[in-house]
Structures are given as structure tokens and as C-alpha cells.
Copies of this chain bind each other. A is one copy, B any other.
Amino acid sequence: MEDNRLRIVQAAHDLFNARGYKSVTISDLADRLGMSKKTIYQYFSGKEEIAAAVIEGALARVNEIIDMAESQQSDPLHALQDALIQVKDQITLLGPLFLEDVQKYLPDLWQRIEQHRAEKIKFIERLLQRAQDAGLVKDIEPRLAMVIFFEAGQALIRPDSLSRHGFSMVDVLDALIKIFCTGIVEPKIFEPNVKL
């Protein structure tokens, strides 16, 4: 039984990410699963509840990644970098079309995503603080560094920003993570008398 539920969520995940939320119907989902619509309705009240389950699944995986990073005792900077890359992988798995549709048609669910992001992003500050205590990060208040990463990420992955500049979400997040994770390290390279 629970297996059916998981299968529905997984198939919805794939369909939504490929075609967005709006254009996918319960019939499409039933066809893909070789399942009757009636069976689907035994588990979910409708498409909106299925979308919520897809999103909650992704958020749960993000939580696991962050918990893992924070439980790592050594090397907070690598833990941070690894976690950012894995979270980015989860986010980009969701597909920009699906996320756009959620923003447009499911405002409550979108708010749930934004609230989750605002809460969870603080792991960056905590790991940066640990890195700073270990002498790895210099001269930048961890909360400020987190805010810079957060606001830069938010601004860059807006659909209008991506299309205006002609980059994909993966391109932009990869580069942002790379710049950020190198950039917060103690910048010995810019000290006087160090030849670049």
C-alpha cells in the first residue's frame, strides 16, 4: 500500500519536472503508472496534494543533507561545500518549469518552500562560524556571508534573471557555489608580496 503511494509520488516527480505542474493531469499520471485514477484518489485528494508530497520529499532530502553536514565533526568548510552542491542537485532535480508553476498556481506550497529555505539556510552561518572558530575563514561575519550567498542565489535563479542572461540554473548555482566556497576561505592569496 505504502509502496503505491511512493510510486505515485515518484511518477509525479518525473512528470512535473519534465512538463511542469499545470499541464500534467491525474489521467497522465494514471497512464504512466498503469494504475486507475480511482487508485490514485485512494492516496491523494488531488493533484495539489501530490505536488505537495513531491515538494515535501525534496525538502526532506535537503534536511538530511544539512543534518549530515552539521554532524560532521571535522572540516566545516568542505562539509559546507559538499552540502551546497548536494542541495543544488536536489533543487535542480525539481526542474525550473515545475518550480515556476508552483510559484504561479500553488502559492501556499511556494510559501512553504520559501519558509523552509529561510529556516534551513542558517546552516551556512553555523558551519561558517565553526570554520571561523577553526581559523579557516577571516574577516567576514558569518551571517553576512550567509546573507550574500542567499540573496545572490535568490536573485540569480529567478526565471527572468536566468533567461535574460542566458544561463541555466545549474550553471549559475555551480559557479556561485564555487566562487562562494573559495571566496570565504582566508584570502592568503591576496596578501601583499604573494605573486598571483
Contact = CB atoms under 8 A, between A and B. Distances in A.
A180 B181 contact: no
Contacts of A78: 190, 196
Nearest to A78: B196
A179 B178 contact: no
Interface stretch (A15-23, A101-109, A164-172): A164-172
Centre residue among A155, A172, A181 by max chain B CB count within 10 A = A155
A186 to B, nearest CB: 9
Interface stretch (A29-37, A38-46, A141-149): A141-149
B196 A175 contact: no
Interface residues of A, number: 37
Contacts of A181: 183, 187, 190
B152 A151 contact: yes
Centre residue among A81, A155, A182 by max chain B CB count within 10 A = A182
B81 A175 contact: no
A132 B124 CA distance: 29
A172 B141 CA distance: 10
Contact of A156 (B77, B151, B161, B185): B151
Nearest to A165: B147
A154 interface: yes
Given A81-B190, A185-B182, A196-B185, A176 B148 contact: yes
15 contacts: A75-B196, A78-B190, A140-B179, A145-B175, A145-B179, A147-B172, A151-B156, A151-B161, A155-B155, A178-B183, A181-B187, A182-B189, A182-B190, A183-B184, A189-B189
Interface of A: 75, 77-78, 81, 136, 139-141, 143-145, 147-148, 151-152, 154-156, 161, 165, 167, 171-172, 175-176, 178-185, 187, 189-190, 196
